[in-house]
Every structure is written in C-alpha cells, then in structure tokens.
Amino acid sequence: MKRITISILASIAMMTPAIAQAAPVAGSTLIGVSVTELRDVTLGWSTKHQLLGESVFNAKSEQIGTIDDVIIAPDKSASYAIIGAGGFLGMDKHDVAIPVAQIRLVGGKFVLAGATKDALEAMPAFEYAQ
C-alpha cells in the first residue's frame, strides 16, 4: 500500500509543472519578444528604414524604379516587393509586384537582373484590394 501511495504522489509531482505551464495565468502571457528574439530582430531588415523608397537597378546599373511597399504573406514571409516604375514626380507611376526572391542586394544596391523600365511598365499594374 505504501508503494502505491508513493507512486501516486510521484506521478502527481511530475505532472504539476506540466499542469502549471498548460494553464495560462492572467498577466503571465509574454507580449512582444524575448531578449533573445530581440537580438534577432535587430539583425533583420527594417522596411521603413532600409527598403522603402530605395532605388532598384537592373544589371546594367540603370535605375528602373523604387521599392514602395513590401507584401507580407500569410506565413509571415516577405513575398513581394511593390516597385514603382515610370512616371515623373509621382505622376503616372506604374506599380508592379515583383517576387522578393528575384531582387538581389549587390554592392549595396537592390538589383532586379534582366529588367528594364519598359519591361516593368509593360507588366500588369499592382492595385491594392479594397
């Protein structure tokens, strides 16, 4: 009988941390990121400070547009860059969606190899869903 009691108590003791972790307690939920995650965030890219408004060049170093937006996919990955092409002083600008994987950072410049202004202007225009 004593062995059964000890086994039951040991089982309960081993389950207690799991029960305590499974039940959320008011005020104990972590909001934001941990210190470790914050280090990863600071090593990443900021769309506002490092991408938006940056020029995009082709392989011949000709400026072909600017990065106006970055679309985040449901899986939280950056999926498309919205490139503003053509136009003058914002007039008649033609926005196109380019897969982020096609844009390379070369020598501090964003490069879309094989592209030209004419090719971007010939693409279907990107329009935000209402």
Closest CA to 112 of 102, 97, 126, 124: 102
Confidence of residue 4 (pLDDT cuts 50, 70, 90): very low
List Cβ neighbours of 82 (8 Å cut-off, separation of 6 or more).
67, 68, 69, 70, 71, 95, 96, 97, 98, 126
Averaged pLDDT, 27-37: 70
109 bridge partner residues: 106
Helix or strand (DSSP H, E) at 66: strand 63-72
Give a yes or no: residue 91 inside a domain: yes
Inside any domain, residue 27: no
106 is in which domain, residue-wise?
A: 46-122
pLDDT digits (tens, 9 = 90+) for 38-66: 776 666 767 777 788 999 999 999 999 99
For residue 23, the model assigns a pLDDT of 52
| Phi and psi at residue 116, to the nearest 5° | -135, 165
- Tokens 């086994």, residue? 7
Nearest CA among 69, 72, 58 for reference residue 96: 69
Rounded CA separation 119/32 (Å): 42
User: Are the C-beta atoms of 58 and 114 separated by less than 8 Å?
Assistant: yes
67, part of any domain: yes
- Taking alpha carbons only, the member of 72, 8, 12 closest to residue 44 is 72
Average pLDDT, the chain: 77
Residue 82 within a domain: yes
Assigned domain for 10 exists: no
In a domain, 16, yes or no: no
pLDDT tens-digit profile of 103-124? 999 999 999 999 998 999 999 9
Q: Does some domain include residue 110?
A: yes
For residue 6, the model assigns a pLDDT of 41
How many domains would you assign to the chain? 1
CATH number, domain with residue 86: 2.30.30.240
Query: Considering the domain boundaries, does residue 96 fall inside one?
Result: yes
